[in-house]
Amino acid sequence: MNLFVTGIGTNVGKTIMSAVLTEALQADYWKPIQSGTIEGRDAETVKSLISNNVTVIHPEAYSLKEPLSPHFAAKLEGVEIELNQIHLPKTNNQLLIEGAGGLMVPINDQHYVIDIAKQFNCDIVLVASNYLGCINHALLSIDYILRHNLKLSMLILNGEFEPEVETVITNYAKISTIIKVPTLKSLSKAEVASVALIVREQLALKA
């Protein structure tokens, strides 16, 4: 099953966790919509952080310059993002798809980032980090996923969480796999490989 990685908000470590998961699963990686290319591409970040020789990094369907929501960045460039023009890359490997921002980030006047996951019938991986407001953002995201009959296959707790915060989030719904990822000491291949081992161990325990 292909995995769709999304976050409870912006700057929760979604791209870094995508690199960790890509390395742990030796999956292919694809970011269908990339905005903010003037600041860099998430595909290049993931490529620079993985060590395995199996992963293929697939090109974006849409690549936009400004670091804004996809619909806004596209409008500035006179581009219309069309959901039916986003096609799965051809691969025999498991595919990890990274969204842009959170679930309800608009990609055009009618569709949102989560609609990409719906279109391809992906399992959802939700990334959360610990900050003031994360409980509300996490529970709203989980609630949306469940109410729309999507499969929330994995919740990644990125970094250290106070026990009270973690308990409230994880007790809200039955999530088959909860992965706890320590704060990365550095953004390097060695560190991502080390954390990927931790993730693999946790996934094996859940199997």
- What CATH code is carried by the domain that includes residue 47? 3.40.50.300
Q: How far is CA 28 from the centre of its chain?
A: 13
Mean pLDDT of 49-78: 97
Q: Give 140-192 pLDDT, tens digit per residue.
A: 999 999 999 999 999 999 999 999 999 999 999 888 799 999 988 899 999 99
Domain assignment of residue 43, given as a range: 3-206
Q: Give 12-21 pLDDT, tens digit per residue.
A: 999 999 999 9
Q: What is the structure's pLDDT at 175?
A: 85
Task: Please count the structural domains in the chain.
Answer: 1
How far is the C-alpha of 187 from the C-alpha of 189, rounded, in Å? 7
The full 3-state SS of 115-151, as one line of letters, equals HHHHHCCCEEEEEEECCCCHHHHHHHHHHHHHHCCCC
Q: Any idea what the Cα angle at residue 60 is, between residues 137 and 114, rounded to 5°? A: 30
Please list the active-site residues. Answer: 31
With beta carbons less than 8 A apart as the criterion, state whether 129 and 159 touch.
yes
What pTM was computed for the model?
0.95
Half-sphere exposure at residue 88, Cβ-oriented, CA atoms within 13 angstroms = 20
Q: Give 113-140 pLDDT, tens digit per residue.
A: 999 999 999 999 999 999 999 999 999 9
Residue 1: pLDDT band (50, 70, 90) is confident
With beta carbons less than 8 A apart as the criterion, state whether 32 and 61 touch.
yes
How far is the C-alpha of 108 from the C-alpha of 127, rounded, in Å? 24
Which secondary-structure segment (H or E) carries 83?
none
Question: What phi-psi label fits residue 149: left (phi over 0), alpha (psi between -120 and 50 degrees) or beta?
Answer: left
Residues with Cβ within 8 Å of residue 110, at least 6 apart in sequence: none
